[in-house]
Amino acid sequence: MSYKELLRDENEGVAERNQLVTQRLKEILTENAVEEKFKGFFVAAAKKLLCLEELYNKKQEGILDTLSEEELKAMNQSFFEEFYQENYATSYGNPTYAKEKMGDMGVILCHLYYKISGLTCSALMGKLQILTIYEELLVQIYNRFEDKDIEEKELKEIVSSFYHDYVEIFQEIAVREMVNPNWDYYTELIKHADLSDVKYLYHAGLHVTDNEIETAKFINSLPEEDVRAMAFTFTEGFRIGYEKLNVSLKTKKSIEIRYYLGFERMMRYAMENFEKMGLKTTIHAAVVSSTEANRQYNYDHKDDMALYLDKAYVERFLETRKVAFNKEKEYANGFVGPAVLLTFGEKEFIPTANEDSLQLSEKQGKLKVELSGQAQEITTQFILPQERSFTIIAYPIPEIGDKFKEIFAETVKVNTLDYHTYENIQQKMIDVLDQADVVKIKGKGANRTDLTINVCELKNPEKESAFENCVADVNIPVGEVFTSPVLKGTNGVLHVTKVFLQGLIYKDLEIELTDGMITSYNCSNFDKEEDNKKYLMDNLLYHHDTLPIGEFAIGTNTVAYKMGIEYDIQAQLPILIAEKTGPHFAMGDTCYSRSEDVAVFNPDGKEIIARDNEKSILRKEDPSKAYYNCHTDITIPYNELDTIIAVRKDGSSVDLIRDGRFVLEGTEELNIPLDSMK
């Protein structure tokens, strides 16, 4: 059945409710039934929902297909322009403005406005059920405000009950759209749209800017063989990675594509490649991205779960997630993982700490950790880690600057470097690192790094290795050797003067490790130390009291490093590329998380035995103590690096890097890009 046919029953089931609630929304526009300070909010929210209803109807009736590019652009902008930085100060999506206008209840209503404003994808995808339940929530709240005796506690209870009641629907949608290719709105859009006409971009339900338009036009301008080659690099990386699992693709059904709007031509060829492997593609709204209207807006709402996150919600979430996976068990068992296209080039973003935003309590932070871990455990019951792989690749977007086309060409070069050359060089490094008892890393200049990494001891060096020789398969581009450190004996300070992690800038990031665990952390983003600590707790430790070091790696892609320096885009490189441009250290789970029992081998045939550490091994007793469900790579660039030295048990040592240059015999070729930099 088609996507529309699958939705038909759901939509027919709420059709009568939808008619009633939309009529009520229209009445809100003309009534004077609530206090004046709340009236503006309810009118704005009702108008937004009615506009979404109009968008839904125009899509269903085919009217959107008749509109000009200018009309579609104006429609798209009307949904997002109030959140632009220049307008945000007076938007009901801004917690500060909402609180100023409506008091403490305004912050709760602001959350509702945020959720309503994010329903453009649902409207275009035909999800009348989702539109209807949010419309009913707004009307329910409005009706209570008519009585003029509602208090903050009751309002919070209404919102909390909504999420407890409807978590089943949200989980069913999330699971089915991830694994079941019959829910094919985006795949059908990519397959059948006229990609030479950028009007198709406005059917995605996302914010469309010059980034998306110019990306699509640029990709369309490339010769077919170039775009097919980009798609081949993308899909072949996945195929090779899956081949290493020794699992037949013949038993698999679907693969999830995550990508950035504007790359549809490349994705069309990628889908064809995957279909030749016997895999149908799933793409859903949660995994398609575009330029945010205002990154501060989304940052202000990152902890909105504070309204409803409690023990009962966690239990309900986990219960309904398991039910959802059971409904899609056949497709979940046949799901192979994600193929991800990342982008880079957006301007640096340093968020402002907003005291009016909703904040998770300490207890809720722990619950969020529990929820994440147990949800992942349920996922692994249906999507077996030993039969799941991935691939990731990245390209720039036009916002990166006037040299976008040159940077794009350089990125293609970086993504297609000869992996045999790197495989051989990296093996020389591994041969030395496998002799090491510890590896010592020191920064230079303003970089205060002074770390000792304890390396897993080999019992049979002829057949075992502690480091993986990472070439361009699942993790594109080529260029690193990595290991899971032994926690005990891994000590010291990791410091980076400036680093870009998960879309956020960190200044003077400093982490102290004792026996492989974070014992202190700080940065200098904000004037107040408590703001810096909270920033790191929210975005690096993810509400854990501490994290282990899950990975130590030495990046070898000096071509990518040179690109970053010469085009002055080092801070904008995604971690996928940045981690290859120096040694990096991941805080959180190991690279083998939940797949530790799957044997992994280097190209030389040796088994990589450093797949566990003292935390992950606890999975055999209690998985909740073994995993942290995060893995954040922090890279020291070559220009902040002094030495990397492998130290043997007898105290003898071998320098791999000295003064930021590769000095181990057989690795000197890696210095050519460094020495040729302007």
Residue 357, φ and ψ in degrees, nearest 5: -70, 155
Residues 267, 386, single domain; the answer is: yes
Number of domain units in the chain: 3
Q: How close are the terminal C-alpha atoms of the chain, in Å?
A: 58
pLDDT of the residue at 472: 64
Please report the pLDDT score of residue 633 as a whole number: 94
Which structural domain range is residue 520 located in?
418-437+462-635
Residues 392-404, mean pLDDT to the nearest whole number: 96
Does one domain contain both 501 and 563?
yes
Residues 405 and 431 in one domain: no
- The answer to whether 512 touches 505, Cβ cutoff 8 Å, is no
d(CA 186, CA 285): 8
318 located within any domain: yes
pLDDT exceeds 80 at position 246: no
**Residue 660 included in any domain:** no
The predicted-structure confidence for 133-173, as pLDDT tens digits, reads as follows: 999 999 999 999 999 889 999 999 999 999 999 999 999 99
Q: What b-and-e string marks burial along 177-190, b requiring 16 or more CB atoms within 10 Å of the CB?
A: bbbbbbbbbbbebb
User: Is the domain of 142 the same as that of 75?
Assistant: yes
Q: Where residue 678 falls among pLDDT bands split at 50, 70, 90? A: low
State pLDDT tens for residues 66-116: 999 999 999 999 999 999 999 999 999 999 999 999 999 999 999 999 999
Alpha helical stretches, state H, 277-403: 295-300, 311-327, 329-333, 362-382
How high does pLDDT run on average in the chain?
Answer: 94
For 478, phi then psi, to 5°, come to -65, 160
Contact 208, 73 (CB under 8 A): yes
- Interatomic CA distance for residues 497 and 526, integer angstroms: 14
Same domain? For 549 and 570 the reply is yes
Pair (104, 80) in one structural domain = yes
pLDDT of residue 231: 96
Residue 582 domain flag:
yes
Burial letters for 615-649: b for 16+ Cβ neighbours within 10 Å, e otherwise? bbeebeeebeebbbbbebbbbbbbbbbbbbbbbee
Does residue 453 lie in a domain region?
no
Confidence of residue 190 (pLDDT cuts 50, 70, 90): very high
Q: Answer yes or no: do 279 and 134 share one domain.
A: no
User: In 265-296, which positions are buried (b, 16+ CB within 10 angstroms) versus exposed (e)?
Assistant: bbbbbbbebbeeebbbbbbbbebbbbbbbbbb
3-state percent helix, strand, coil for the chain, nearest multiple of 5: 50, 20, 30
How does pLDDT run across 589-634, given as a tens digit for each residue? 999 998 898 888 999 999 999 999 999 999 988 888 899 999 999 9
* Percent of residues, the chain, with pLDDT higher than 70: 99
